[in-house]
Amino acid sequence: MSHSWADEPERGSKSALRIIRWIALNLGRAPARLLLYPITVYFLFLAPTPRFHSRVYLRRVLSRTVRPWDVARHFHCFASVILDRVFLLAGREAEFDVLVHGESVFDEVVSAGRGALLMGSHLGSFEVLRALAISRKHANLKVLMFREQTALVTTMLDELNQDVAATVIDLGQPNALLRAHEAIQEGTLVGMLADRIAGFDRPIKAAFLGSKAQFPTGPMRLAAVLGVPVILFFGVYSGANRYHIYFERLSAGEIKPRVERDEWVRWMTLRYVQRLESHVRRAPYNWFNFYDFWNFETDNSDSGSVDRPSRGWWRRQ
């Protein structure tokens, strides 16, 4: 039986995360980045399930044999982005070199003041977008996310910036979509990551990295009901202190009649998947879905021959 992303346990202890946070904020980013190497080694040797799913994904996106170095680079990129969240939430975004592509798309939505959906993914960093929106653009931004799944990390990071923590709309609460609706009506930007399925969603299958995977339709259905612009964003980490933010207009924002809604939602979700795949191929080590994304445990025809997770440090494919 396949597992969803919500079934994966959160790793790390509160004390270890607090030590990392203290080192980052008191000794600086350079010493803190030295911690990324033992973290990478830990996942490479002692986290068989994330390691396995990293290899499955990397084999698809790289279209070649995956080496231990590839998986290590994948984990190191993920750890780097998590560490940088500490500095971004602490208001130290000036330490980063951020290049924005398609900035006029974002500026147009902010200046219009009508509210919009900012639709992202688990590619790179959402926090770098939040820092841009709040510190540089002075935009009102709220975020739809599941707090419970990453409660340990989220709680620790929330302590750094209570104002940012207050902008989160918890998808685990029954009134989450109503709150998102109200925020957009007030002219607020609402950000969400649209590449994972929630339990209440109606997914569709779409071609992604060579075979079919399930993607949620809820984000596009919300856009169709509200009739607001949809802006894609990708905050890609490119090494050292560098990030690239990409904005793309997906929908200008119009309320769809009920008879047209299902087809529009399907079409726009497929467009989202196409754009996501394009950016994932350009920055393959930035995509952080360490779970059974293609559901190969129940559908081997789409995933080819793969080894099952092993507690050995490496099994060659």
* Burial class of residue 54 in the structure, from the number of CB atoms within 10 Å of its CB (0-12 exposed, 13-18 middle, 19+ buried): buried
Q: Which of 19-33, 75-89, 275-289, 299-313 has the weakest average pLDDT?
A: 299-313
Cβ-defined contacts of 112-116 (< 8 Å, 24+): 113/187, 114/187, 114/228, 114/229, 114/253, 115/183, 115/184, 115/185, 115/186, 115/187, 115/188, 115/189, 115/190, 115/226, 115/228, 116/184, 116/189, 116/190, 116/228, 116/229, 116/230, 116/231, 116/253
107 in any annotated domain:
yes
Rounded to a whole number, what is the distance in angstroms from the first to the last CA of the chain?
22
Q: What percent of the chain has pLDDT over 70?
A: 84
User: Which contiguous run of DSSP H or E holds residue 70?
Assistant: helix 68-89
Beta strands in 44-183 (DSSP E): 97-101, 116-120, 141-145, 168-170
How far apart CA 24 and CA 33 sit, in angstroms, is 8
Encode pLDDT of 138-186 as tens digits.
788 998 887 665 555 666 666 777 777 778 888 778 888 888 889 988 9
Cβ-Cβ contacts under 8 Å for 187 (sequence gap 6 or more): 113, 114, 115, 140
315 in any annotated domain:
no
Phi, psi of 312 (to 5 degrees): -65, 155
How far apart CA 112 and CA 249 sit, in angstroms, is 14
The tally of domains found in the chain comes to 1
Encode pLDDT of 54-74 as tens digits.
999 999 999 999 999 999 999
Q: Which of 31-40, 89-98, 299-308 has the weakest average pLDDT?
A: 299-308
pLDDT band at 307 (very low <50, low <70, confident <90, very high): very low
Tell whether the model's pLDDT for residue 242 goes beyond 60: yes
How far apart CA 291 and CA 289 sit, in angstroms, is 6
308 in any annotated domain:
no
Mean pLDDT score of the chain: 84
305 in any annotated domain:
no
DSSP letter assigned to residue 266: H
74 in any annotated domain:
yes
Rounded to two decimals, what is the model's pTM? 0.86
Q: Give the residue numbers spanning the domain of 16.
A: 5-297
* Most confidently predicted of 150-164, 232-246, 286-300: 232-246
307 in any annotated domain:
no
- Nearest by Cα to 20 from 149, 130, 160, 166: 160
R_g over Cα of the chain? 19
Give the mean pLDDT of 81-110.
Answer: 91
Q: Which of 3-12, 23-32, 34-43 has the weakest average pLDDT?
A: 3-12
**Inter-residue contact 121 to 234 (CB < 8 Å):** yes
Dmax of the chain from CA atoms?
58
- Nearest by Cα to 12 from 151, 204, 205, 140: 151
170 in any annotated domain:
yes
Distance of alpha carbon 136 from the chain centroid: 21
109 in any annotated domain:
yes
Tell whether the model's pLDDT for residue 14 goes beyond 90: no
Q: Which of 82-96, 103-117, 188-202, 286-300 has the weakest average pLDDT?
A: 286-300
